[in-house]
Chains A and B, each alone.
Chain A
Amino acid sequence: MKPVIKISDVEFAWPGRQRFALSIPALQIEAGERVALIGPSGSGKTSLINLIAGVTLPQSGRIEILGTDLARLSSGARDRFRADHIGLIFQLFNLLPYGSVIENITLPLAFSRLRRAGASDAKGEARRLIHALELPEALADAPVGSLSVGQQQRVAAARALIGGPALVLADEPTSALDATARDRFLDLLLDQSQRTGAAVICVTHDEAVAARFDRILPLEQIARISRGEVGGQQSREAAS
């Protein structure tokens, strides 16, 4: 089986911010692997997530997701690729406030034929996930505004998992939750990803979260970050 992620010799710098650069010589994540990516805030974790999701492209090097080189895809094809293969969970504000719980969970199915095929009975699959993620079933048709933050994150997890994408990217998904809610959320997320066979990459700065994963990757070990400490301030100002 092909690795889910294979990164080689990637160099990335935000346009207009020459001093901040991220370079990753090599990184490989296998199918179904559950990885915690840890590092202090501002260490480039989100940049890495954006690169893996194909939202931004590296200046050089190669990022392959499921054997596909993202840089070789057009921007529209990258969007379609992301819709097909990647589920995303953010720290907060994951949901469309005007949709119901079910509508939010089934949102990715609107954009991906592959994931529609993976959840042929969309509502049934959504209800299964609602049940599996221990959300009250009465909430299925409720507007998401009435949910607690913990419940909202579970809805986001259900949405990332529906249709069985090969990769779930979670960016600090538990940082707004208390310890009990956090543990339960991780249990359920890891449980369900095992069921669908999705690899999970979770960005966190929390050691307790990282400890729950198969593999812990401190960002400073896999990546070199140049920040341009000397004179960085001036050059940023000059650039702006």
Chain B
Amino acid sequence: MSLLRLALGSLLARRWTVLLAVISIAISVALLLSVERLREGARSSFAGTISDTDLIIGARTGGVQLMLYSVFRIGNATNNFTWKTYRDIASDPAIDWIVPISLGDSHRGFRVVGTTRDYFTRLKVRGGKQLRLAQGKPFDDLFDVVLGADVAAQLGYRLGEKIVVSHGTGAAGLTEHEDKPFRVAGILEKTGTPIDRSLHVSLEAIEAIHVDWQAGAPIPGVSLTPDQVRSLPLKPRAVTAAFVGLKSRIAVFRVQRAVNEYAQEPMTAVLPGVALQELWSVVGVAESALRGVSVLVVIAALLGMTTMLLATLNERRREMAILRANGARAGTIFGLLMIEAAAIALTGALLGLLLHLVAMAGAGAWLDRSFGLYIPWRGVSWQDLGLLAGIIVAATLTGLVPALRAYRLSLIDGIGARL
């Protein structure tokens, strides 16, 4: 019998305990690989929230703050900026396109975004993917609304349905714009970005629902019907932020400076890539913690294997005495234990890889649907293989502990271990 055959035979004879060690390593490996994949997916999902946009501008604020409310639709803008400022900036010849958004209203917890029709053609996600309508078309009429995919799915709205927008963005106790309902004109395809959780109306519509309001409340006794509103000149007074695409990226710093130094109103322009990076450095702490935990799980599994090998050594003294009596050196016993540890780790790692691939194949669509976490099938990367190799090496190293113990025991016992 070769050394390998001896080690495998011995492992097989203890298959149930060995299987437990293999499974715990497999689970830890699958967890580590999956967490790595999720990290990567989260990062690219995050980075793909906005794409092909050169600058985002808003009233004077921090870059991360501007990013949060304009792109991620988290929190509120401290200030809007005037339509005149918007027009001035938009007239810069370096600007290819500009899409304004006006925030401040909501519908059952989802943000309402006032914008122009360019929003649907100019904003890109995930490396230049265009927004597409799953049903209907972009807003046309003053009281048309285009829903993000999650809004439609979660609230069960269909084309043509009438919905009412609330003033403000809290969860409850909001004043409704109930006198001016909107009609669902289109539903966007899922993008895995906050766009899925937004309702889109025209800038004029935002004006229209606030035309008989003042200082954030309806003017008592003044209520205009939708038809009366239609006849009014609805010019936007202010917008919250704007997405800008330049004719040439070379101009980006000049335009940014021009916006930041705009004299009539304090303004901020940020480069989305830079702001995303800054934001990720905040969010990334959680990701590192997650990775840390999964590394600890792997360590625990390896310690479990070592414990198992150590604990069974005593019962195996007879086995070792037989081997020694038949000419095995103490070094051979050491080698056997090392092979056992390596074999358990290798089996566990391969099983874990399989588990990970099955999980990724199975959960990919669900993750996208439920969390907007888009993780394309990628198979096995060199990085994964590196991790696996690292785990197998680590397992073999922890195998040194039982192997050395077995070596010492077999020197003490020799061929004379009695049962």
Indicate if the CB atoms of A107 and B329 lie closer than 8 Å. Answer: no
Indicate if the CB atoms of A88 and B416 lie closer than 8 Å. Answer: no
Asked if A112 is at the interface (CB within 8 A of a chain B CB), the reply is yes
Residues of chain B contacted by A103 (CB below 8 angstroms): 1, 5, 9
Q: Which of B2, B325, B328 has the most CB of A within 10 A?
A: B325
Indicate if the CB atoms of B327 and A82 lie closer than 8 Å. Answer: yes
Chain B interface main SS type: helix
Indicate if the CB atoms of A83 and B326 lie closer than 8 Å. Answer: yes
Interface members, chain B 299-351 (any A CB < 8 Å): 318-319, 322-332
Residues of chain A contacted by B329 (CB below 8 angstroms): 76, 79-80, 111
Which B residue's beta carbon lies closest to that of A93? B318
Residues of chain A contacted by B326 (CB below 8 angstroms): 83, 88, 107-108, 111, 159
Asked if A213 is at the interface (CB within 8 A of a chain B CB), the reply is no
Q: How large is the interface on A (under 10, 10 to 19, 20 to 34, 35 or more residues)?
A: 20 to 34
How many B residues touch A, CB cutoff 8 Å? Answer: 27
Residues of chain A contacted by B359 (CB below 8 angstroms): none
Asked if A106 is at the interface (CB within 8 A of a chain B CB), the reply is yes
1/0 contact string of A57-98 vs chain B (CB within 8 Å) = 000000000000000000110011011100010101111111
Indicate if the CB atoms of A79 and B327 lie closer than 8 Å. Answer: yes
Instruction: Name the contact of A90 in the complex, choosing from B3, B5, B325, B414 (C-beta under 8 A).
Output: B325
Indicate if the CB atoms of B1 and A56 lie closer than 8 Å. Answer: no
Asked if B10 is at the interface (CB within 8 A of a chain A CB), the reply is yes
Residues of chain A contacted by B411 (CB below 8 angstroms): 75
Q: Which of B2, B329, B411 has the most CB of A within 10 A?
A: B329
Indicate if the CB atoms of A99 and B9 lie closer than 8 Å. Answer: yes
Asked if B217 is at the interface (CB within 8 A of a chain A CB), the reply is no
User: If the complex has contacts A83-B327, A108-B327, are A98 and B10 also in contact, measured as CB distance less than 8 A?
Assistant: yes
A97 CA / B325 CA spacing, docked (Å)? 15
Q: Which of B10, B318, B326 has the most CB of A within 10 A?
A: B326
Asked if B419 is at the interface (CB within 8 A of a chain A CB), the reply is yes
Query: Number of residue pairs across A and B with beta carbons under 8 Å?
Result: 74
Residues of chain A contacted by B322 (CB below 8 angstroms): 93-96
A96 CA / B316 CA spacing, docked (Å)? 10
User: If the complex has contacts A98-B12, A99-B1, are A79 and B416 also in contact, measured as CB distance less than 8 A?
Assistant: no
A106 CA / B326 CA spacing, docked (Å)? 10
Residues of chain B contacted by A92 (CB below 8 angstroms): 419
Residues of chain A contacted by B328 (CB below 8 angstroms): 79, 83, 111
Asked if B174 is at the interface (CB within 8 A of a chain A CB), the reply is no
Indicate if the CB atoms of A111 and B332 lie closer than 8 Å. Answer: yes
Which B residue's beta carbon lies closest to that of A89? B325
Indicate if the CB atoms of A96 and B414 lie closer than 8 Å. Answer: no
Interface members, chain B 1-51 (any A CB < 8 Å): 1-3, 5-6, 9-10, 12-13
Which B residue's beta carbon lies closest to that of A88? B325
User: If the complex has contacts A55-B415, A110-B1, A110-B3, are A97 and B13 also in contact, measured as CB distance less than 8 A?
Assistant: yes
Q: How far is the CB of A121 from chain B (nearest CB, A)?
A: 16
A199 CA / B385 CA spacing, docked (Å)? 56
Asked if A50 is at the interface (CB within 8 A of a chain B CB), the reply is yes
Q: How far is the CB of A225 from chain B (nearest CB, A)?
A: 18
Q: Which of B5, B322, B414, B416 has the most CB of A within 10 A?
A: B322
Can you name 25 A-B residue pairings with CB atoms under 8 Å?
A50-B416, A55-B414, A75-B411, A76-B329, A79-B329, A83-B327, A84-B327, A93-B318, A93-B322, A93-B419, A96-B10, A96-B322, A97-B319, A98-B10, A98-B13, A99-B1, A99-B6, A103-B5, A107-B323, A110-B3, A111-B326, A111-B327, A111-B329, A111-B332, A112-B327
Extra inter-chain contacts (8) besides given A46-B416, A53-B415, CB under 8 Å: A55-B415, A56-B414, A79-B324, A95-B322, A96-B6, A96-B322, A107-B1, A107-B326
Please list the residues of chain A having a beta carbon within 8 angstroms of any beta carbon in chain B.
46, 50, 53, 55-56, 75-76, 79-80, 82-84, 88, 90, 92-99, 103, 106-108, 110-112, 115, 159
